[in-house]
Each structure stands twice: as C-alpha cells, then as structure tokens.
Amino acid sequence: MNIFRLAALTSVLCFCLSCDSTTLYKAYEDIDEGQWFLDKKYTFSFEVNDTTQQYNLYYLIRNGQQYPYYNLYINREMTGPDGPWMTPRLDEVYLSDEKTGKPLGSGLGDLFDHKIIFMRKYQFPKTGTYTLTFSQAMRQNPLPFVLGIGLSVEKVESEQP
C-alpha cells in the first residue's frame, strides 16, 4: 500500500472518529500525489447560525516525514455572507522542531497530522455562509510531501465554575 492510499484511508478514519458535539465544521482534502502547487487553492465553506458562540478555527495538515522544511506558509482568504470579512493573511505554521527536526504533530509511521489553531475564541459577526480558502506560499513549486489540508471550526466550551 503506497503512502498516498494509506493517507487517504487514515484521513477517512480520523474524520469519522473525531466528530463530536463541539465541532461545527470539519473537512479535509487530500492533495494530489502529495504535491501542493502554488496555484492550487483549497476551499472550505460552513454555515454559522449562532453569533453569540465563540469558536476556535484550526488548520488540519498532513505531511510525510520526507517534507523538506520545518514550517509551512499558508495564505488564508476569508469571505462571509457579505463578501470578504477579513483581510487576506499569510500564516506561518510549524510542522517540526526547527533545531531537532522532530515532528510536532501526531504520527503514524511516516505520516504526521497537525491541528494548528489560527483563530482563538472568535465570534462570527453575522449568521450565514463563511468560506476559507488556503494556498501554500513556499518558494518550492510544487511543494512535496504535503498530503492534505483541512479546516476545523469548533465551539469554545464555556468554562465551568
């Protein structure tokens, strides 16, 4: 079984096991042959019905151990019910320790999954459909051994006294 087939099987299994009542939205897309091209964008849309609820938003990233860098630059564009709701942003996320090279995500063999928060305790301003679009912004094209990208939007649990 090759690495890409194993990655697809693992992503389906993780998706099925990880849904719970605090998750508003969770989606994941495999990257063809683990080669993320500069012009390839991944888009995720979800519905917000409660503007009083706070949410944490996470990047979901899967990479192979052979990924040649410790970090990944991701362009993030966001639109809401009335069009763009935030300025496009470039985020740097860390996939391994810069000095030791030790992967920071959870691993299965030579595959590593990362759940990296990029918005904490965010309240959406309006109800409606929100869309986030991700693209890579590294200097290498295509970027090898990035096997998948996704988004998780999770309700912030209220703190109990």
How many domains does one find in the chain? 1
Q: Give buried/exposed letters for 118-139 (b at 16+ CB in 10 A, else e).
A: beeeeebeeeeebebebbbebe
- Is 124 part of any domain? yes
**Residue 19 pLDDT > 60:** no
Confidence of residue 20 (pLDDT cuts 50, 70, 90): low
Model confidence over 41-93: pLDDT tens digits? 999 999 999 999 999 999 999 999 999 999 999 999 999 999 988 899 999 99
What is the pLDDT averaged over residues 19-28?
86
- Is 65 part of any domain? yes
pLDDT for 73 equals: 98
- Is 42 part of any domain? yes
Any idea what DSSP says for residue 33? G
**Residue 17 pLDDT > 50:** no
Tokens, residue 76: 């993030």
119 and 19 Cβ atoms separated by less than 8 Å: no
pTM of the entire predicted model = 0.84
- Is 34 part of any domain? yes
Q: Which one has a higher pLDDT value, 15 or 117? A: 117
Model confidence over 91-140: pLDDT tens digits? 999 999 999 988 898 988 899 999 999 999 999 999 999 999 999 999 99
- Give every CB contact of residue 126 below 8 A, 6+ residues apart in sequence: 48, 51, 80, 81, 82
- Is 161 part of any domain? no
- Give every CB contact of residue 4 below 8 A, 6+ residues apart in sequence: 30, 33, 34, 147
CATH of the domain at 115: 2.60.40
- Is 135 part of any domain? yes
Model confidence over 134-161: pLDDT tens digits? 999 999 999 999 999 999 999 998 765 5
- Is 160 part of any domain? no
- Is 44 part of any domain? yes
Domain span at 126: 3-155
